[in-house]
Amino acid sequence: MRKTISPDLAPPIPREHGAWGILIGSFLSVIAITHTVLFSQLFFLLAIAAFYLARHSFLLVLKSGDIKSRAGWFITFTIIGWIFLAGAAISAQYFQIIIWSSLLLIFLLLEIWLIRHRKQASFSAQLAGTVGLTAIAPLSLMLYQKDFTSFFIFTWVINILFFTSGILFVRYQISAMKENASKRSDFKKYKAAMICYHFTLLILLFLSVLYFDKFWGLFIAFVPILAQSFIAILVKLNFRNLRVVGWLEIAQTLCFIALLAIFFAPANPGF
């Protein structure tokens, strides 16, 4: 007879697949740029993943008030996270990473505030979550450089810009799937946001190339997602299956990482 695990005993796993994509994609972008992967960075990835699972357990307790069945997982994942974070600091011999990682608490507090105000499903909440998840990129880079540099901010910004594009595209596609989409205000809003955001992004990337020749590689890395967005608007490329949209965004993330590795990989990243 097949045994099933009680929902109270099973570890609560977030169903936000896009969030996992942002977390892992941002981490891999640093590996692509530096052409190096360190044990300390792998420990750090596992630490952040454990803290992310702990955050999910904590939010479930916050929403339901059911401390008995969820608090144990929160404590377990938190302990695992601290063990891996300590392993990352020891492996890199850079203990400041523990202090820098505390910045992630800001995004947890912001998420709690959004939940309290019932705005957890809003675009602003997704944007805040994207900024928090992409923080793994500069923090992983810090383990490589063992110092705070302007490239720390730069790595964070390019990941925020890339994944914000993906969020807008997904929300635009979701709004297009609804009946009478062209007449709905949310569809018009996301269509306008898609146009404004990607046109502005195109201009910023073009200007960066004019001032810094080495940014040609960065421009190339953004070309596929810019093309996807403009085609979706101009040709009215709308999907009817959200799973297809999800797979497309995974492919875009892998393409972004590959193009960064090929065209934007200075031997010693920094400015």
Q: What is the pLDDT of residues 152-182, one digit of tens each?
A: 899 999 999 999 999 999 888 888 887 666 6
Q: What is the pLDDT of residues 214-239, one digit of tens each?
A: 788 889 999 999 999 988 888 777 77
Same domain, 83 and 195: no
Query: Which pLDDT score is estimated for 25?
Result: 95
Residue 269 lies in a domain: no
Same domain, 56 and 168: no
Question: Does the pLDDT of residue 145 top 90, yes or no?
Answer: no
Task: State mean pLDDT over 40-55.
Answer: 92
In degrees and rounded to multiples of 5, residue 176 shows phi and psi of -75, -20
Number of domains the chain contains? 2
Per-residue DSSP letters for 41-80? HHHHHHHHHHHHHHHHHHHHHHHH--HHHHHHHHHHHHHH
Q: Which of 128, 147, 166 is the last residue of a domain?
A: 147
Same domain, 72 and 154: no
Task: Enter the pTM of the model.
Answer: 0.87
Residue 1 lies in a domain: no
Q: Which of 113, 147, 181 is the last residue of a domain?
A: 147
Q: What is the pLDDT of residues 70-89, one digit of tens each?
A: 677 788 889 999 999 999 99
Which value, to the nearest 10 degrees, does the dihedral of the CA atoms of residues 99, 88, 269, 249 take?
-100
Q: What is the largest CA-CA distance in the chain?
A: 68
Report the alpha-carbon distance of residue 59 to residue 108 in Å, rounded.
9
Between 97 and 210, residue with greater pLDDT: 97
Q: Which of 9-13, 119-123, 139-143 is least confident? A: 9-13
Residue 8 lies in a domain: no
- DSSP-derived 3-state class of residue 239: coil
Mean pLDDT value across the chain: 84
Same domain, 35 and 139: yes
Q: How confident is the model at residue 2 (pLDDT cuts 50, 70, 90)?
A: very low
Residue 200 lies in a domain: yes
Residue written as token pair 């940014």: 215
Residue written as token pair 């890339």: 162
Same domain, 125 and 188: no
Q: What is the DSSP letter of 235?
A: S
Same domain, 157 and 259: yes
Query: Which residues have CB under 8 Å from 232's CB, separation 6+?
Result: 169, 172, 173, 194, 238
